[in-house]
Structure 1
Amino acid sequence: MTPEKRVTAVRLDEIVPTDVAPGITRLGLPGEQVTARAFDFAPGAVWPEVDEHPHDELIYVADGVLLDNGVTYPAGSFLHYWPNSRHRPGTETGARILVFTRG
């Protein structure tokens, strides 16, 4: 297979969102070895429960400002949550985040 055939490209704004919680939607992204998703948070939205995960979780704040564990992360921030960490993301102003996990 040629390298050109090994690429799947999607535009986030063309993916049909899935409701996760009030004010939070998920956009499923393609991937095999890594689970990739985008989440859109409306202003004032907070993840419905504390998020615990057994593996690394990588988050890129693509737009807006994410608030997590009492710290604000503006667009352009990259977060690495270590295995067995806990957090509960939210936003006061709205945010789009890209999340990458294993499994």
Structure 2
Amino acid sequence: MGQLHEVMAVSRMQALSIDAVPAIEVGPGCLRRDLPAGPGLRMWVVEMAPGAEWPVLDHHETGESYYVISGEVIEGESRHGAGTYVYFAPDSRHRPRTETGVQMIGVNLRYASFLAAGGSPESITHCYHPTQG
């Protein structure tokens, strides 16, 4: 029985190289790679070339978290280097930029998951932009 369970668990797993995931250009020097994720989650990798700035003021109705893999990202006057975890609360906005180039991996809750987890629709002002996916 244990061996059958292990085979089933492996068949439900995905392992892939980030570079094998198609990149979507969201603006000059800004690429996003959408990763497979469980229900209600949105996982992604963002790569920004040196000197790039995110093309729009990014609005995250359910919040956003990311981890800086390499390089440095600048949020306002704050600089975050490799190994830094950054969290934005629900209904936050930001426009990251970089001087050195940066690669980040991040996660958002989808709207329905946010509500199911106890998030309040009254605390959100919807402002969708196509680059947010």
TM-score of the two chains, using structure 2 as the length reference: 0.73
Does structure 1 residue 25 correspond to structure 2 residue 37?
no
Structure number having the greater helix percentage: 2
What percent identity do the matched residue pairs reach? 32
Q: Secondary structure at the match of 2:99?
A: coil
Letter in 2 for 1:4: V
Q: Distance in 1 between matches of 2:79 and 2:71?
A: 10
Shift of residue 23 of structure 1? 0.3
Q: Distance in 2 between matches of 1:86 and 1:40?
A: 19
Shift of residue 7 of structure 1? 1.4
Q: Secondary structure at the match of 1:43?
A: coil
Q: State which of 103, 116, 121 in structure 2 corresponds to 1:96.
A: 103
Shift of residue 15 of structure 1? 1.7
Q: Distance in 2 between matches of 1:69 and 1:9?
A: 35
Letter in 2 for 1:63: S
Q: Distance in 2 between matches of 1:101 and 1:83?
A: 10
Give 1:13's aligned residue.
19
Higher relative contact order (CA 8 A, sep 6+): 1
Give 2:52's aligned residue.
45
Structure 1 alignment gaps of length 5 or more:
none
Q: Distance in 2 between matches of 1:70 and 1:57?
A: 19
Taking only aligned residues, the RMSD between alpha carbons, in angstroms, comes to 1.2
Q: State which of 67, 70, 81 in structure 2 corresponds to 1:63.
A: 70
Structure number having the greater strand percentage: 1
Shift of residue 33 of structure 1? 2.4
Shift of residue 3 of structure 1? 2.1
Larger-gyration structure (1/2) = 2
TM-score of the two chains, using structure 1 as the length reference: 0.93
How many residue pairs get aligned? The number is 103
Structure 2 alignment gaps of length 5 or more:
111-133
